[in-house]
Amino acid sequence: MPKKKSYSVNWENEQAVSFVVDGITYANLKDIPNLSDRKKLRTMMSETSEPDFDEAEWEQTRKEANKGQDIILWVFGGVSALMLLIALLSAGSSILARSKEKSAPGVVVDVVSRREYVSEQDHVVQDYYFPVVRFTADDGRRRDVQMSEGSSSPEYESGDEVTVRYNPERPLKARIDSFGSTMLTWILPGITGILGLAFGGAVLAVKWLVK
């Protein structure tokens, strides 16, 4: 049985600098006398070289990546537009509601304490305090109204004089004219507006980075 030949290629800086056949070193392929040996070494060189760059495949991959990116940007853009629309509508509703309000002097006649669960699972409770205000609306009727905004500690005492804001069509929905009650009317427009701007800013930032 004939002995199997050994072959090797010596590389330097990704270039073939010499070829070895059965321990004999050749500087060039053309110096190797046996044609089958030269073919074997050429095959070895082609197997170890880097594959050709497939431009069509790369372009297809790039298009698929851009398509996925565009879908994400459209989703973020849609969320941004929805949040800004909600902010605009809720702000308009708040402005309209405040434009219908009238003011009247009032006095706190009672403070109602109500215990509510903070965490039902852990049985954690918290006491909240709701002032009851007496005021006379523009229809001449005097009303005692428990405010819907409560606090974890009493902010008012019986006898405190306050200013009441109310809608003449719904006087039982009155509120005490204060910074806290005013801020509550702007919570929804504020949160949705900030989220809308954040999503919109993210979309613009990604587009700018891609360019």
User: Is residue 53 in a domain?
Assistant: no
Indicate if 67 and 41 belong to the same structural domain: no
The domain in which residue 202 lies consists of: 59-96+189-210
Show the tokens assigned to 43: 């095959």
Instruction: Give the pLDDT of residue 47.
Output: 66
Within a domain: residue 184?
A: no
In this predicted structure, which of 82-86, 146-150, 157-161 has the lowest mean pLDDT? Answer: 146-150
Q: Is residue 121 a part of any domain in this protein?
A: yes
Q: Is residue 90 located within the same domain as residue 193?
A: yes
Mean pLDDT, rounded, for 16-25 = 85
Backbone dihedral angles phi then psi of residue 36, each to the nearest 5 degrees = -65, -30
Least confident of 52-56, 82-86, 156-160: 52-56
Let me know whether 116 and 165 are in one domain: yes
Total domains in the chain come to: 3
Distance, in Å, from the CA atom of 170 to the CA atom of 101, rounded to the nearest integer, reads 10
Are 138 and 80 in a shared domain? no
User: Residues 163, 142: one domain?
Assistant: yes
Do 203 and 148 fall into the same domain?
A: no
How far, in Å, CA of 114 to CA of 133, rounded? Answer: 16
d(CA 201, CA 192): 14
157 and 120 within one domain = yes
Cα within 13 Å of Cα(138), Cβ side: 10
Residues 25 and 84 placed together within one structural domain of the fold: no
Q: Does the residue 182 lie in any domain?
A: no
CB burial of 77-89 (b: ≥16 within 10 Å; e: otherwise) equals bebbeebbebbee
Lookup result for tokens 């980075």:
209
Instruction: Mark whether 171 and 117 lie in a shared domain.
Output: yes
2 within some domain: no
Is 15 contained in some domain?
Answer: yes
In a domain, 75, yes or no: yes
Of the chain, the end-to-end C-alpha distance in Å amounts to 66
- Between 61 and 130, name the one with better pLDDT: 130
pLDDT at 113 over 80: yes
Paired with 10 in beta bridges are: 18
Q: Verify that 172 and 126 share a domain, yes or no.
A: yes
Lowest mean pLDDT among 40-44, 61-65, 160-164, 181-185: 61-65
Q: What is the 3-state secondary structure (H, E, C) of the chain?
A: CCCCCCEEEEEECCEEEEEEECCEEECCHHHCCCHHHHHHHHHHHHHHCCCCCCHHHHHHHHHHHHHHHHHHHHHHHHHHHHHHHHHHHHHHHHHHHHHHCEEEEEEEEEEEEEEEEEECCCCEEEEEEEEEEEEECCCCCEEEEECCCCECCCCCCCCCEEEEEEECCEEEEEEECCHHHHHHCCHHHHHHHHHHHHHHHHHHHHHHHHC
* 69 and 34, same domain (yes or no): no
Instruction: Measure Cα distances from 139 to 3, 57, 105, 144 in Å.
Output: 117, 79, 14, 14
Is 152 domain-assigned?
Answer: yes
Average pLDDT over residues 69-93: 90
Give the span between the Cα atoms of 135 and 107, in whole angstroms: 7
Q: Are 150 and 115 within one domain?
A: yes
